[in-house]
Structure 1
Amino acid sequence: MIQRVFAGFVLCLVLLAGNGAVAADRAAVLTFLKVTGFDAALDSIGIGAENAPAILGQEPGEFGIVWQKMVAEVMDPQDIQDTAVSMLEQTLDPGLLDHAMAFYGSDLGQRLVAAENAAHLEKGEDGKDEAGAALVAALMRAGEAGRARLEYFQRMNDAIDSSDMALKAMQEIQIRFLMAAAAHGVIELRMDEADMRELFHRQEPQMRATMKASALVNAAYTYQAFSDDEVRRYTDALETADMQRVYELMNSVHYEIMASRFEMLAARMAGLRPSQEL
């Protein structure tokens, strides 16, 4: 039986829904998704799923067009958004919803959302990573002003993931995918779950540094058209306690959906053979 190891995320959902708060209604949540751009973030889950076989040591292209069809079905954007809405209906406090909507519904907020939505749906092979790295390098050469802008980006990234959830989430998603693939006979694991977790634990410092560097590159690319003052205002908004609670909840929902969909992919891969076509 596959162990469900997202207890921390479930606890986060419970805590954010607690204290006698009344959860938001469905119409309000749907508006929240669109105004904040969380709908685009959910849509981006399917982009990384295309390369899921690489986690298992296989190439997606080996499975032919049937793999593309399978990913499209499991990562159906509307189905994923419906799942997210159902989760948020039960957990999103209307006060937190209003706080996030007040900022993201502003002129600056909507411009930021448009930039973030565009970045979410771009892939590294489109030149995004190289362009972002070049921007970071240019800011590092720009003296105090450049370093100040990079510091804002770092603070923004820290605020968005204030509980250091991203690293643990990526580990859990990979472990759940691997365990599901093994349970369905897709692969044969050479180590048990405890050993796998120990391996990930040893790799944490390097993984955290890589993720922080990647997040900085992404921020430099995404917000390149915004002034230093606008970046500062966004940083200040993200560092408020209410906004950090909103992001904890959105991150929890996003990562749990991602993990469960990868488990679904693993189950669907059972019996699939390389070069299998429709």
Structure 2
Amino acid sequence: MLVTPMRQTRHLARIVFLGTLIVLIGLLPVRAADRDRLEAFLEVTGFGVALDSIALAAADAPVMLGLTASDFGHDWARVAGEVFDTARMRDTGIDILSQTLSDEMLSHAADFYASDLGQRLVEVENASHMIEDDAAKRAEGEALLAEADEARITVLQDMNAAVDGAGAGVRALQEIQLRFLLAASYAGVLDTQIDEGTLRAMLAEREDDLRAALRASALANAAYTYQDLGTDDLRAYVEALEDPLMARVYELMNAVQYEIIAGRFEVLAARMADMHPGQEL
């Protein structure tokens, strides 16, 4: 499943508050899906791999503080692995989905991704999610875009617009950064306390630049991920993504993913305080 990933902090990745999920829960009149069906849903759609790939975002934490993983000593890899445990993140995703994903939404998305086209899409998306070298992936994607015709570029742009139709990606990244930096400040990872209002204002000032960077990054990522699929197949994918029910599924998937990311980064900030005496922001 193509989901806007947090990993764009390294190449500037694409939070919806948990409150959004609460609103969605209130709007859903149908029975929530059971756990077995949700686990199958994670597999057939590829959303399980998307959740697993969140673990790769741990490397972004020191960068947001102007540091490197080596600044936190030899225990960094162990601590990051414990915080971004893939089984824990999948369990959290399933817990949230069990309260928000209706049978109708689950069946609609699962039916599409179980199709021949759907499974081919999941295969390339899963492979792309787990590539750690984002810089190399983006460079290759940009090279592919330079050679692509207008029709190909347009369908990739339409796909990204369909995945994040509400433009939540920028707000998501801003909220993740805000929550992490505040948590790091409160935990004593930083020598100085951060004022939330000042930080929000700084993020707002950079919003236009961030939006442009995310758009360019998402386009290069899509060019890389779908390079082996034909333009007609991608048009069919866009049509599926633009279906109102699928749009609701993606709104929920993005919200789930972003909330897990933000929550894990807050936990990581607390653990980082025990690994390093503190730094100026």
The answer to whether 1:201 aligns with 2:210 is: no
Q: Normalization by structure 2: what TM-score?
A: 0.89
Mark the runs of 5 or more structure 1 residues left unpaired by the alignment: 1-5, 140-145
Partner of 2:249: 246
Q: Would you say the 8 A contact 1:50–1:68 is kept in 2?
A: no
Q: Which one of the candidate residues 66, 69, 73 is aligned to 2:78?
A: 69
> Measured at CA, do residues 126 and 208 of structure 1 come closer, stay the same or move farther in structure 2, by a change above 3 Å?
closer
Cα distance in 1 for residues equivalent to 2:183 and 2:146: 41
Partner of 2:222: 219
Cα deviation code 1:180-224 (max 9, x no counterpart): 111111103465111111111111111001000000001111111
> Measured at CA, do residues 195 and 37 of structure 1 come closer, stay the same or move farther in structure 2, by a change above 3 Å?
same
Q: Which one of the candidate residues 39, 45, 63 is aligned to 1:36?
A: 45
> Measured at CA, do residues 33 and 166 of structure 1 come closer, stay the same or move farther in structure 2, by a change above 3 Å?
same
Q: SS state of the match for residue 50, structure 1?
A: helix
Cα distance in 2 for residues equivalent to 1:124 and 1:19: 39
> Measured at CA, do residues 16 and 150 of structure 1 come closer, stay the same or move farther in structure 2, by a change above 3 Å?
farther
Cα distance in 2 for residues equivalent to 1:125 and 1:33: 24
Q: Normalization by structure 1: what TM-score?
A: 0.90
Q: Would you say the 8 A contact 2:16–2:168 is kept in 1?
A: no
Q: Which amino acid aligns with 2:117?
A: L
Mark the runs of 5 or more structure 2 residues left unpaired by the alignment: 1-14
Q: Which amino acid aligns with 1:101?
A: A
Q: Which amino acid aligns with 1:262?
A: F
Cα distance in 2 for residues equivalent to 1:13 and 1:103: 27
Q: Which amino acid aligns with 1:127?
A: A
Partner of 2:263: 260
Partner of 2:131: 122
The Cα shift of 1:16 comes to 5.1
Structure with the greater alpha carbon radius of gyration: 1
Q: SS state of the match for residue 227, structure 2?
A: coil
Aligned length: 263
Q: SS state of the match for residue 206, structure 2?
A: helix
Q: How does 1:67-216 map to 2 (within 5 A)?
A: 67-124=76-133, 127-139=136-148, 146-189=149-192, 191-216=194-219
Cα distance in 1 for residues equivalent to 2:57 and 2:248: 26
Q: SS state of the match for residue 225, structure 1?
A: coil
Q: SS state of the match for residue 271, structure 1?
A: coil
